[in-house]
C-alpha cells in the first residue's frame, strides 16, 4: 500500500532536531509535503533538519509564539494541513527525590507544550475544515516506570489531551491521533546508558525483574524511522477514518490488550 495525501501540503513538525522528529521531517519531505521544521534555537543549530525543509525556532512553552508561528506559516505558505508534535524531554529520578523544578520543566515542556502547539494547530485546521494532527507520546503513559514518574505522568496527560482534542475537532474535519513509542534508538534513550558495553540495550530488550519491566518480544529496539512510519500512516489519506487512536510502536513491550 502506497500512502497518499502529502503532495504539496503544508506540514509542521516540532522537535524536528531530535531523532524521531528528524525522521518524521525527512519522511514528510520525501512524500512531497512542504515541511516547516521547528525546535529550539540551540537544537536547530546543533542538529539542523534535513535539506529541503523550512526551519523556524520555537520554544513550545511559548503559547503566543506557537500561535504566531502558525499564523506566519499560513500567511507565507498556505493552510496548515498536517501537524506533528514530537518535542519532549526526559528527567530520570525517583519521585520522592525529584527536584520540584525538574518536575515543573518536564510538565511544562511535555504537557503544556503539547497543549500550546496542538491547540494552535487545531485552531488553524478547524478554520479550514480539514487536517490531521499526530502527537508523539510514549508507552510509559500506560505502564508505570521506575524513576520515570514525571515523564510518564506528562505523557499520560499528552495522550488524553490529544484524544479529547480529537473528539472536539472531529466535526470540523480534523483528525487527532497519538503514536506511543517504546524504547527507541535516539539520544534520549542511549543517554540513559553509560559506556556499559551494550548492557543497557540488552537489559531493555530482555526486561528487568528489579525494575518491574517486561522485555521487548520482538527482541529489538525501535529505530526513529519505525516511529516515523507509524506517524506517516496516521497522517495519510489511508487513515482517513482513524481519529483518537493511541498506536503503540514498542515491539510488543506493553503487552496491551
What value does the mean pLDDT take over residues 158-172? 98
User: What is the distance in angstroms between the CA of the first residue and the CA of the last residue of the chain?
Assistant: 26
pLDDT in tens, 174-220: 999 999 999 877 665 555 545 555 566 776 777 777 777 788 999 89
Residue 116's SS3 state is: helix
Residue-averaged pLDDT of the chain: 93
* Helix then strand then coil, % of the chain, to nearest 5: 45, 15, 40
Q: Is the pLDDT of residue 85 over 80?
A: yes
* Catalytic residue ranges: 151
Q: What is the pLDDT of residue 120?
A: 98
Q: Match 512542504 to its residue by C-alpha cell.
A: 34
CA 206 – CA 152 distance, rounded (Å): 21
Q: Is the Cα dihedral 68, 128, 117, 31 positive or negative?
A: negative
Q: What is the pLDDT of residue 187?
A: 65
54-57 and 174-181 strand pairing: unpaired
Q: Match 525546535 to its residue by C-alpha cell.
A: 39
- Of residues 1 and 30, more confidently modeled: 30
- Of residues 204 and 227, more confidently modeled: 227
Number of DSSP helices (H) and strands (E) in the chain, helices first: 9, 7
Q: Which CATH class is domain 10-182+223-248?
A: alpha beta
pTM of the model: 0.92
Give, for 39, the enclosing helix (H) or strand (E): strand 34-39
Query: What percent of the chain has pLDDT above 70?
Result: 93
Residue range(s) occupied by CATH 3.40.50.720 in the chain: 10-182+223-248
Amino acid at each position: 500500500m502506497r500512502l497518499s495525501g502529502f503532495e504539496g501540503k503544508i506540514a509542521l513538525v516540532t522537535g524536528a532536531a531530535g531523532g524521531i522528529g528528524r525522521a518524521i521531517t525527512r519522511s514528510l519531505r520525501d512524500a512531497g509535503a512542504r515541511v516547516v521544521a521547528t525546535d529550539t534555537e540551540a537544537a536547530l543549530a546543533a542538529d539542523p533538519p534535513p535539506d529541503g525543509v523550512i526551519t523556524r525556532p520555537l520554544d513550545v512553552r511559548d503559547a503566543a509564539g506557537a500561535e504566531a508561528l502558525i499564523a506566519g506559516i499560513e500567511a507565507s505558505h498556505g493552510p496548515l494541513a498536517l501537524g506533528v508534535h514530537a518535542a519532549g524531554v526526559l528527567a530520570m529520578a525517583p519521585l520522592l527525590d525529584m527536584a520540584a523544578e525538574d518536575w515543573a520543566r518536564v510538565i511544562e515542556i511535555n504537557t503544556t507544550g503539547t497543549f500550546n502547539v496542538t491547540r494552535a494547530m487545531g485552531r488553524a485546521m478547524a478554520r479550514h475544515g480539514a487536517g490531521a494532527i499526530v502527537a508523539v507520546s510514549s508507552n510509559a503513559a500506560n505502564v508505570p516506570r521506575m524513576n520515570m514518574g514525571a515523564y510518564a505522568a506528562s505523557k499520560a496527560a499528552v495522550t488524553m489531551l490529544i484524544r479529547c482534542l480529537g473528539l472536539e475537532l472531529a466535526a470540523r474535519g480534523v483528525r487527532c491521533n497519538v503514536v506511543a513509542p517504546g524504547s527507541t534508538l535516539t539520544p534520549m534513550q542511549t543517554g540513559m546508558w553509560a559506556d556499559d558495553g551494550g548492557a543497557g540495550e540488552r537489559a531493555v530488550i530482555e526486561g528487568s525483574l528489579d525494575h518491574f519491566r517486561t522485555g521487548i518480544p520482538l527482541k529489538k529496539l525501535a529505530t526513529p524511522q519505525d516511529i516515523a512510519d507509524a506517524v506517516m500512516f496516521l497522517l495519510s489519506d489511508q487513515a482517513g477514518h482513524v481519529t483518537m487512536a493511541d498506536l503503540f510502536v514498542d515491539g510488543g513491550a506493553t503487552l496491551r490488550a
